[in-house]
Structures are given as C-alpha cells and as structure tokens.
Amino acid sequence: MSAIPVLRPVSLDRLRTACSNCGLKELCLPVGLTPDEMARIDSLIGTRRTLKKGAHLYRSGEPFEALHAIRTGFFKTTVLLEDGRDQVTGFQMSGELLGLDGIGSEKHTCDAMALEDSEVCVIPYASLETLSREVHTLQHHFHKVLSREIVRDHGVMMLLGSMRAEERLAAFLVNLSQRFTSRGYSPSEFYLRMTREEIGSYLGLKLETVSRVFSRFQDEGTIAVQQKHIRIIDIPRLKQLIGQRPC
Amino acid sequence: MSAIPVLRPVSLDRLRTACSNCGLKELCLPVGLTPDEMARIDSLIGTRRTLKKGAHLYRSGEPFEALHAIRTGFFKTTVLLEDGRDQVTGFQMSGELLGLDGIGSEKHTCDAMALEDSEVCVIPYASLETLSREVHTLQHHFHKVLSREIVRDHGVMMLLGSMRAEERLAAFLVNLSQRFTSRGYSPSEFYLRMTREEIGSYLGLKLETVSRVFSRFQDEGTIAVQQKHIRIIDIPRLKQLIGQRPC
DNA sequence: CGGGGCGCTTGATCCAGGTCAACGGGTTCC
DNA sequence: GGAACCCGTTGACCTGGATCAAGCGCCCCG
C-alpha cells in the first residue's frame, strides 16, 4: 500500500460519520477493506438519520434512493396486502443493511420501522454503484450481502413452510442469540424489542401461540421469560429442536 | 455509439452461445444493453450445459463458480434440513438466473434440479463481476436481478405466513400464468412441470390439499385440471381470491 | 402517584389442513 | 406390450394452531 496520502480539508461532521471510525466496520459494508480502500468509502456516507421508536425509515411505494446501514437500534420490515393483512419480513439490528428490496424497482417495496430509538447511515445508492466499480472488494462484498439476504429468506421460507410452532420459535431465539453474540452481547440474555404479535407475524403464527410456546419452553426449563426479557437456559435443547446437533 | 468494430476470429460455437443471438435477451441478463455493450457481454457465456429431466444442475455444498441462465426447460430449487425435510424455494423457467444464493458463501446453499430436459448458459461468476465493473448497464441490471429475487422471496413469505390454502394456490397459478405470458405462451393454458407434492412443498401444503383445492377450483368452474394440464377459465376470480379474507 | 390502555397470558372451543388409507389411471422401462 | 410404480384423487378421521374470551400486570402519561 504505497499510496501517497492526499490532504484535504475534512469537516468534523465528515469525521463523525466516517466508516473508518465506526465500531461496526467489521459487521457492515466495509468488511475486509484495506485502510486505503476504507478511506475511499468514507465518502459514501452522506448523512446520518435518527429515528424515534415507532418512526418509519421508509414506506412501501416511496422512491428508492439510498440504502441504510443501522448504526444503533432495532428495526422491523413489513410487506402488506391490499386488504390490510401484513407480514413482518425481518428484524434488523446494528451493522445490517436496510432497503435492498428497493433496488429492483427503484421504489421501496416494504415498510421499515424503528422498534427503538435508532440511528442509521444513509448510503446514496448511485454512489455505492459508482464506488463499487472502482473498489473490487466493495463490489464483491456488496454482492455477498445481497446474496446472503436471499439465503436468509430461504431459511425463513423453510421455517414457514415446514416447521411446527415450537421449531419456529426455537429457530427464532437461536438466531437472535447468535446475532447478539456477534455484536458482543450476551448469547443467553436479551430484551426482545418486538411484541408477541410481531414475532407471530414473522413466524406465521398468532400471538397467542407465541405466548403459549414461550410458556411451554419456560415450564420445561429451556428458557426464562418475563415479558420482553428472555434468558435462554438450555441453548443445546433449542438447537436440538430445530434438527441441528447441539454444538 | 461510434465505436470502431474490432474484427476477431469468432468460432461457430461462440456464435451459437452468444447472448446477442439469443431469443431471451429481453428477459435475461442483457436487458437494456446497447448493441455495443451486447458485443462485450457475448464473451461472458463460457459454455452451455444440457440436463436431462431429473438431473441436478448443482447441489447444496458444492463450490459456487458460476451462475446459470436457463435457456430452455424448467427447474426447481430446494433447501434441506438435516433431518431430511426439504422445501422447494422456487420454480425457474427460461431467461431466469440460477445460483444467486451461492455468491454469499461461495458455496451453493440449495439444490437445483431440472424438471424437464433443459439447457442452461454457464456464466462464470468472476467474469460477471469483472465485466459489470466496466459495463454500468450490466452492473445495474445485475443488482436489480438480485434485488428482485429478494422481493420475490418476500412475496413467498407473505404467502406462507398469512394466506390460506386457496389463496396460495390462486397466487401460484396467477404467477405461473403471468410468467408464461411474458414468454409468449398462453396465459390460460399450460402444463405443470412439477408434481402436486412439489407444489405443496413450495406452498407449505400437503399434496392432498393441493389436489383437493384444484378439484374445488374445478367444481366452481374457475379452472379445468387434468393431471398436469391446467386451463384457467376465470383469471379474475383467481386474482380476486388473492388478498381476500373470508371473514 | 394513580388511572387507563396496551401487551401478555391462559382457558375453552373450533376448524383448516394434516394424516391415513384405498384406489385408479398414466407413464416408464424392460 | 405388459408390469411396476409413481402420481393424483378422494374419503374418513384427527389435531395443531386459530379463534374467541376473560383477566391481569406493566408501563406510560397526565
């Protein structure tokens, strides 16, 4: 890396929003970039946006212009049918990208709502395409992010199409646990940011069923639930439930 | 477009596999390219591959090296759980791309099987990344293809998570009808390439339920079924069924 | 600090779709 | 061309999760 650094005036705001200073860079879009490449992608982030709990980041039908990387907070995305029925398609946490669904039609195709006070980085999509033509690593990683979203969706399809209620909830908890772990939080103890109804919508179950299965898990000593506070006591048991050998 | 054409020796085989000669170019990856750009992407297609009905194009776990564009034929993709349960994640027809799920992990994450004798174009993935850095239109379109796959998956999640059996089958038939139409076939009359069991797996239903709902549709005069031959009599009725709650 | 409402739990009952079983027609492969 | 098998249909019955209903507790807001 023998590039000669070019000194340019840098605003404080630019520094504040820079990917190179971000604690999530190993989780987010800049994964695997050299310091040199990192400097170039710093220019990607236009602005930051903060959202109060319950606020929409975007809604279905709005023009798509930018992706959003979650810096802090927690989101849900939902699609809806004309008759009012809706379905949660995912829960997103820090370091994850929102808005990939909008690229295809240049319009958002789902709603994204903050489930707690949150902050996101705005990544203008046109800039991302331009920069990813120049920085191969970025291009490659962006494709991977898109592809992994497809694989994740296949997992949800599997879950919705061929698992029973207990298995779905077990898979859901194990998934949350793993994602919290990779963010440095406890694998076994966390607060759910979403309601039973939202969990049910995501898993194709009614809220009563979610509640009942949680209670059953608790009776069996697999987890301890108190409202939104979850403590997983027996992770291997949960993994075993979803047909995975407990590692 | 004032590029000076460069004459190069072109093998017959190259000509045969060229995108620019392909009847599907308006449906497949080269959508919207100028003749100039089209000439460049002709080099993308490495080879063609033919598959007998029942043959696997790839299997889960195999290293991912190339995408596959379907030239003729019909495929299904399935994911499977350790315990043997599997789930059909999609049915693909001519002009559609197979293998997008493999980019993220550099391994295939599902099985792709030909449901009739088929032919695919092999698109080495490394070449596609390289070329899409040079041809913006290709890059942009490829991103759209990835994004649309995500949106399609959201649709399936909606279907699996909040629709009843009749609605799922109606949505399935309408979707097939539209895709056949855009390929120049009849919107109302076609052969199903998949079994009742495969349809059921895709829709999260058992094969008996699929059969029963088809029979019910037939009794109501909405469709005419005879084994794999389907004739849709009342498309508006099917569309009306989608997104309507009985109560 | 007290009231109201939302979110959660739990019980009773119902029903869509699953399961089991029998059969018949079509396709495929010797 | 015939046998075996897969595939599809249909009936009878069962059940997991939905629906309906009631009550409770936590949290927010005034």
Nearest CA-CA partner of A238 in A171, A187, A165, A155: A171
Q: Is the pTM of this model over 0.85?
A: yes
Least-confidence region, from A114-118, B23-27, B65-69: B23-27
B182 token code pair: 């855009």
A169 token code pair: 């909830």
Query: Is any atom of nucleic acid chain D found less than 7 Å from the CB of residue B165?
Result: no
CA distance B115 to B150: 23
Q: B89: which chain A residues are within 8 Å (Cβ-Cβ)?
A: 154, 157-158
Domain at A6-135, CATH homologous superfamily: Jelly Rolls (2.60.120.10)
Q: Does B31 score more than 50 pLDDT?
A: yes
Domain ranges of chain B: 6-135, 163-241
Helices A165-181/A196-203 angle, 10° precision = 110
Res. B227 pLDDT band, cuts 50 70 90: confident
CA distance B70 to B72: 6
* Structure confidence by residue, pLDDT tens digits, A59-83: 999 999 999 999 999 999 999 888 8
CA distance A33 to A141: 9
Q: What integer pLDDT is reported at residue A247 of this predicted model?
A: 45
Query: D21 C1' – B199 CA distance, angstroms?
Result: 38
- A23 vs B207: which has the higher pLDDT: B207
Q: What integer pLDDT is reported at residue A9 of this predicted model?
A: 58
Average pLDDT over residues A208-223: 96
Task: Burial-class residue B9 by CB neighbours within 10 Å (0-12, 13-18, 19+).
Answer: exposed
- Asked if A153 is an interface residue toward chain B (Cβ–Cβ < 8 A), one would say yes
The hierarchical CATH code for the domain B163-241 is 1.10.10.10
CA distance B210 to B232: 16
The whole-angstrom distance between A112's CA and the closest CA on chain B is: 14
> Are B6-135 and B163-241 the same fold in CATH?
no
Do A95 and A145 meet the contact criterion of CB atoms below 8 Å apart? no
* Structure confidence by residue, pLDDT tens digits, B99-119: 999 999 999 999 999 999 999
Q: B103: which chain A residues are within 8 Å (Cβ-Cβ)?
A: 143-144, 146-147
- Asked if B203 is an interface residue toward chain A (Cβ–Cβ < 8 A), one would say yes
- Contact (CB<8Å) A154/B109: yes
Q: Does B183 score more than 60 pLDDT?
A: yes
Res. A11 pLDDT band, cuts 50 70 90: low
CA distance B125 to A92: 29
B130 token code pair: 């390289």
B219: left (phi over 0), alpha (psi -120 to 50) or beta: alpha
